[in-house]
Amino acid sequence: MNLRGSLSKLLKNGSIFYREKAQQFDHNPVIREAWSLLAQDMDLQTSGLKGLPASFWREIQVLHPELMNEVRSCLASVPGKNKDGAASLQDVLNRSLSCEEPIILRVFVPVIRKLRASGTGHALDFYVIVKAHVTHLNELVRAYCGDPLSIQRAGALLESFEKEVQRPEIVQAEAPRKSSRSARGAGRPRRKATTRPLKPSRKRAATRIRSISKPMMRKIRLTSRRVRR
């Protein structure tokens, strides 16, 4: 399964989880509506991702190969069907925060950054959908959790989301590729340069022989003179 299919499955499981919580707390209409609203947010996120072109998914999977592992990890953390049925409201809210934090910060933040860098109109739409979802979760925790640490945790999630989304998309430059000729020659050991002794040419040898045959002293020409008496 590719990144798009895995992310759609993750959002579908999250929507099912929140709808089950709405049924679990059916006796309280306010809390039930809050869980139902979170499930609707997940459905909107799924619809927003389906509208993205296939080229976007190919590019982001190349630029962020770690997203696939993050989505798989989030899938494993989402509770299955009919689990946590007897848990208290505070426990369920903490479990929701544990599931939402990696999805929001490690998956949706890179997606929104890439959408903004691509210059498409989907960036703002998806950003608004995700921010509304995090805001709804934050309001639910602040109103009904009663745990100061959980309230602080929910507020930190919203603040971190805003901060991380505003950061620019950083793309690592690829190293320059070597040519095929240099790549083939890189594995071969270089040959040592051998200096061959210079052979004397025939012209030099003949000159040397002629120079040896010359006498060391010049011939002295003797002239005969008449002797006076």
- Tokens matching residue 203: 């012209």
pTM: 0.71
Residue 91 amino acid letter: D
Residue 220 amino acid letter: I
Please give the chain's pLDDT, 229 residues, in tens. 789 999 999 999 999 999 999 999 999 999 999 999 999 999 999 999 998 888 899 999 898 999 999 999 999 988 766 556 678 899 999 999 999 999 999 999 999 999 998 877 788 899 999 999 999 999 999 999 989 999 999 999 999 999 999 887 665 544 455 555 554 555 555 555 555 555 555 555 444 544 444 444 454 454 445 544 4
What number of helices (H) and strands (E) belong to the chain? 10, 0
Burial class (CB in 10 A: 0-12, 13-18, 19+), 102: middle
- 105 within 8 A of 164, measured Cβ to Cβ: yes
Which sequence spans correspond to the domains of the chain?
3-166
pLDDT tens-place string over residues 126-151: 999 999 999 999 999 999 998 999 99
